[in-house]
Amino acid sequence: MKILPISPATKGKMMGSTFAFRFPFINLYVLAAYTPKDADIKIIDERIDEINFDEACDLVGITVMTPVARRAYQIADEFRKKGVKVVMGGMPVGE
């Protein structure tokens, strides 16, 4: 099984300031660590890597926060058009 966990990027603005984190999110790396060893995982951080929508894969996982939600939905739509299953999630808020 080939899995592509993706962290979307945005060049948009939120509340008058550019939305950018200086450090990578670790959630995709943590999920990769819990994934069975026989799975082929390629983590894509869109701030660094270009997404190849033609890459063969069985599952795409997208990490989402509100400022990148629009881009996350665009990415999901492109993979779904090709029949790829897509799951999305984000940070838990509150207790």
Q: What is the DSSP letter of 14?
A: E
The series of mean pLDDT values per 10 residues for the chain, 95 residues long, is 92 51 74 93 92 97 88 97 94 62
Q: Which two tokens stand for residue 59?
A: 């599952």
Look at residue 90 in the predicted model and tell me its pLDDT: 81
Instruction: Name the residue ranges covered by the structural domains of the chain.
Output: 2-10+25-89
- Give the pLDDT of residue 86: 98
Q: Give pLDDT, residue 16.
A: 44
CATH number of 2-10+25-89: 3.40.50.20
Q: What is the pLDDT of residue 17?
A: 47
pLDDT value at residue 66:
82
Note the pLDDT of residue 15: 43
Q: Which amino acid is at 28?
A: L
DSSP string, 16-79: TEE---SS--SHHHHHHHHS-TTSEE--EETTTS---TTS--SEEEEE--GGGHHHHHHHHHHH
